Amino acid sequence: MDLDALQSNLRRLRRLLPKRVSILFVVKADGYGHGAVRVSKAALESGTIDGLGVSSVEEGILLRDAGLRRPVLILGSLYPFESTLAAVRYNLSVTAASFDGARLIAQAARRAYGPARRFRRLRCHLKLDTGMGRIGVSWPAGLKVAERLAAAKDVDFAGVYTHFSSADSDSESTAEQARRFREALRELEGAGLRPRLAHAANSAGALLYPEARFDGVRPGLAAYGLWPGFKPALSLKTRIVFLKNMKAGMPISYGGRYKTRAASKIATLPIGYADGLPRAVSGKGQVLVRGRRCPIVGAVTMDMTMIDVSSVPEACVGDEAVLIGSQGSEQIQAGELAAWAGTISYEVLTGLKSRVPRVYLREKK
C-alpha cells in the first residue's frame, strides 16, 4: 500500500475542488480493503481532508481507539438504540434516515448528557433518498425530520446529504437526483433549517458534476487511485512457492476440468479465495511474473492458485507474482481483475482478507 500515492491523490482532488468545498474521505470497509487506520492517518497528515466517513459505529470506534480525533460520520443507519449511545460516547457524527431514527437520536443524546449537560452535542446529518432507494427519507417527509433534529437541544443538526446511484454511468439520473436535493435544500433554507453542510457527491459525482459538489464531497475511489488520472495506491503481490513440469493432458486443481494442452511449467502461488482472490477468475485471470502475463490455470482453491509460467522459462521459486499492480512495463489494475471475476473493483478490494499482510510504503520505504 503506497501511502504517498494516497496523499498525492488527495492533494490532486483538493486542487480540483473549490476551497469552500470540504472533503469527507470515505474509509468504510477497512478503507476499501487498504486498512482504515493507516490510510486515515496518512490522509489527515496530508492536510487535505476535513473528516472521515465510515459505515458503522464499530468502524468509527476503531478510528477513535487509534487516536484519531477529527470528525467521523457514520454513513449507515443506526440500530439498535445502544449503537446511538455508543456513538455519543465516542463523539461520532450519526445519520438520521427516518423520523423514528431522529427521535431515537434525540433520546440517546438526552440520556447521554442528562442534567449535567456538557458543551458538546451529538452531531447529526439528515440522509435524504433522492433516487438511490437504500436508506434515507424522501422529500417532503424529510422536512419533519429536520424539524425534529433542529428542536433537540442535545443534537447539533450539522448536515444534510444524499447519495447518487449512477454518477459514473448515468448523467440523466444524476442530474435529476441533484435537482431533487437542491430543491430540498431551498425548502430547508426557507424554513430556517438548512444545516451548514450539504453533500451528495462520491468520486464520480465530484469529478464529473461540478454543480453537484455543494458544500462537501465524499471521495473514495479517486483517493485510492481507482479513477482515471489517479495513481493506484494498492498492489497485491505474492511469491511462487512451488514449480513443476507437466506433460500434455495433465489435470490441474479440483475437478480436473483444466488439462495442460502441451508440456507446461506450472507455478503454485500461496493465495486463494480465502485471501480474497475471487474463485471466478479461475481460467480467466492473469498474474505478472518477471514482467510477463501468465494465465491462471485450473480452479482457484482456498489457499493456493496455479499459473502457467511456460512463457517465463527462467521463473523460479521465490519469484514475485503480481495480481494487482505493476511489474516491468506491464500492469494489472484492480478493475481488470474485477472484470475477469464479473464484478467491480470495490468488491475485489474490500474482499481482501485480514490474513493477507498489509505493507505500507512511505517515500519509497
Catalytic positions, please?
28, 254
Strand partners, 93: 73
Helix (H) or strand (E) holding 336: helix 334-341
Nearest to 248 by CA among 234, 263, 237, 236: 263
Q: Nearest to residue 132, comparing CAs of 196, 176, 182, 93? A: 176
**DSSP calls for 128-169:** B-SS--SS-BPTTHHHHHHHHHHH-TTEEEEEEE---S-TTT
Structural contact between residues 70 and 51, judged by C-beta atoms closer than 8 angstroms: yes
| SS3 track for 14-83 | HHHCCCCCEEEEECHHHHHCCCHHHHHHHHHHCCCCCEEEECCHHHHHHHHHCCCCCCEEECCCCCCHHH
Find, among 31, 27, 16, 67, the residue nearest to 51 by Cα: 27
What distance in Å separates the CA atoms of residue 29 and residue 73, rounded to the nearest whole number? 14
DSSP state of 220: S
Cell of 120: 458538546
Bridge pairing between strands 197-201 and 216-217 = parallel
For 211, phi and psi rounded to 5 degrees? -70, -10
Grid cell in block for residue 179 = 435537482
From the number of C-beta atoms within 10 Å of its C-beta (0-12, 13-18, 19+), residue 343 rates as middle
305 grid coordinates: 492458485
Q: Contact, 291 vs 330, CB < 8 A?
A: yes
